[in-house]
Structure formats: structure tokens, C-alpha cells
Amino acid sequence: METVARLYGHPWSEREYVIALHFYFENRESPRHEFAPYIRQLAALLGRTPASIVMRMENYSSLDPETSLHGLANAGPLCERVFGEWVKRKDHLRSCAELLIRESSAPRTMSLFEPDPVDLPKAFNKYELLDHIGDGGFGSVFSCIEISTGKKYAIKIIKGDNRFDKEVLHRFCREMRVLRSVQSDQVIRIHEDNLGSEEKFPAFVMDLAVCSLTGLFERCRGEGNPERPFLSVTAAAEVFRSISGAVATLHKNKVKIIHRDINPNNVLQLDNGTWVLADFSLAKFVHSATSETTFVTRTHMGWGTAYYAAPEQYRDFKRTDERTDIYALGILLWELFSEAWPPPDMTKTGLIGALEAIFLKATHRDPSARYQSVLEMQEAFEKAMQFVQSVHD
């Protein structure tokens, strides 16, 4: 992975997390901005930009039960683990951090001639890599920060082992093309890619999400709310409207796009509260009734996600169509509104009658018996919601 590091830099190491956490607790009540003395000191010590240090302090604040200064909730798993291990051992943390600082190379000093202390490679020559926040079947996702503006994004980089697999490389590059071709506030937005310049290690920069729908459900359980549904009727309806709207846009695109992997992991919330559809690694373009762009995988990883994948995805992954996404939207509707525990049970859905009829039709095993368009399903949903909201009001 040395080539990837040369192109994109290094995410934060555990050593950096520990030292930064010590600085966080020592300066918990201090202002967090790029010109704060402790921020500049830590930036010079770690060879990071002040903007990335501020972001790290915001991550720690969002995890800290003793502060109301909640920041970003998208800290990576390693960041969360380090915080959890040290939050009740602050005295030991001080000793450990001081040891790590002494063992590290001498701190770099800032000067007028060298205002930027970052000596790590920068993705696209402008983004600093931060947290490893997730993995997909083909790529790894990191948070990153645009050094010149301090804006936060996510960057998806193909996994090192996958760069030798022509099929996976094709899928990864096609995901970029899909995102390039779609203009919708309900679809994750791509900001930049290197499709034309980097064939072996492609990557693209996109919006940074606060959390996924899966993460939101897990947080609800963790806060002592194990009963389904986890969201209010209003909040659940907002999610469904956004994602069904995204799918409708894909199906009406100039070159029709079938997503084929709609599930809570790929439903993301941005920091402005908008819910968007992401991860197009299994998507396909449908150019005409007889011409499709798709791959059938040797390992069956193209089948999709359990429960959300329609039956025809297992029978003939290549010949899926809009009704495959409608099936997944039906399962998503059940996930958002049902009182039952998974997996979904067609005989005991846990849904109010008006929504149960939509769920059963959308998830019929025979595609011809489902809704034939997302618009048709959306119209049925809005009629059902008039009744559902009258019951809950």
C-alpha cells in the first residue's frame, strides 16, 4: 500500500489519536479554532494542518459525555476506540502521551517561510487524509479535509488488493461515472475524481455524511430505546421520501440507472439534515431495452444485501430492472415503520394496514406483481401517510 500512501497520504495513527486526546482533555474548555495556541502547537508536533486538529477536537467533543459542545458525529472506529479506552484513565493518558511525544521526532517549528507543517502526501494534491470511516466491497472510505479551505469531505479509494481485479476496477470506475451523471440533492454528490489520471489507484471525493441510517438505529438502541420503530412517523417519512425520490431520479436519468443495493448502510445523513442515497458500486446503466452495462461477479458479491436483494438478483443479476429497486424500497419502508423485529415476516409485518399493503405489493416475489414505477409507489405512500398521520395526530 506504499503507492496508495504516496498518492493519498496516511490516515491518523493510534499514536496521533492518543496525543491529540491528551491535548483535548488539557484544553477542553478552550476555544477550538485554527489560531488557538494549543491547536497550532499540536499541528506542528504531528505534522498536520490546524484545520485537521480542530476537526479532531470536534470529534472528541462529540464523543465526550461531559461536554455540551457536541461537534461532528463521524469519528472513525479507531477514534472511538481510543476515546473509549482512555476517557476514564486521564492520569495514565498524560503519562502515555508524554512518552509518545518524547519518542517521536523533534517537534517542527512554524515560520514565515514554512507556514504549512504538513509533510504527508495530499490526495489530489489538496486533501489531507484523516479517519478511516468505513469499507465497502471494493473500496475504503476516509474523511479528509481540503487544506486551502478547511472544508470536510469523504474520499473513497480502491482497496489495494482490488486494483489487480479488472472486474472490481471496472465497478469502482463505473461508480464514479454514475455519480458524475446524476444531479440530485437526494444522491451523494461527487466533488472530484482522478478517473482520467490515475488508472491503478482511482479515488473520488464526495460529501461527508454525519451518519448512516444503520448508525442512527444503533444509536437509538444504545440510548435505551430498543423498541421498533426507532424513528417517529414524521422522521421515517422524511427518510423514505428522500430515498424514493433519489431512486426515482436514477430511473428517470438520461441513461437509466438501477442502484441494486438500497439498504440502511447506504442511506446517509449529511450535516444539513438531508438524507441521501450512496454507494453505487453495484449500480448499472441501462442504455436501452437490449443494451446494458453490467458485470456478473464470480464470487456473487454482486448479489446485494440480505433481505434487501430481490429474488431475481440471485437468479439473474444481469437482468435486473427498476422493479429490483422497488423491492428494496419496500424493505426499507418496513425497516422504517415496522414494530416487528427483523427479518421481515410477510405474515406478521408489524405495519399499520395502509403501509402493509404497500410493503406486500412492493416486495412480491414476482416483479410483474409489484409497483411498476417508483412514482406509482410514491403516490400510494402519500395516500397511506394521510391515514397514518391522522392516527398518530
Q: How far is CA 266 from the centre of its chain?
A: 7
pLDDT of residue 302: 53
Q: What is the pLDDT of residue 329?
A: 98
Residues 174-223 pLDDT 10s: 899 899 999 899 999 999 999 888 877 889 999 999 889 998 898 888 76
Helix H, strand E, coil C: the string for 215-268 is HHHHHHHHCCCCCCCCCCHHHHHHHHHHHHHHHHHHHCCCCEEECCCCCHHHEE
Please identify every stretch of the chain with a pLDDT value under 50, giving residue numbers as ranges. 71, 289-301
Residue 33: how many CB atoms within 10 A of its CB?
11
Distances (CA, A) of 184 to 25, 89, 150, 245: 41, 46, 25, 9
C-alpha cell recorded at residue 218:
444503533
Name the amino acid, one letter, at 349.
T
Q: What is the pLDDT of residue 387?
A: 84
**pLDDT at site 289:** 45
Rg (CA), the chain: 23
pLDDT at 287: 66
Domains and CATH numbers, the chain: 9-103 (no CATH), 127-206 (3.30.200.20), 210-392 (1.10.510.10)
User: CA 291, 297, 300, 301: dihedral to nearest 10 degrees?
Assistant: -100
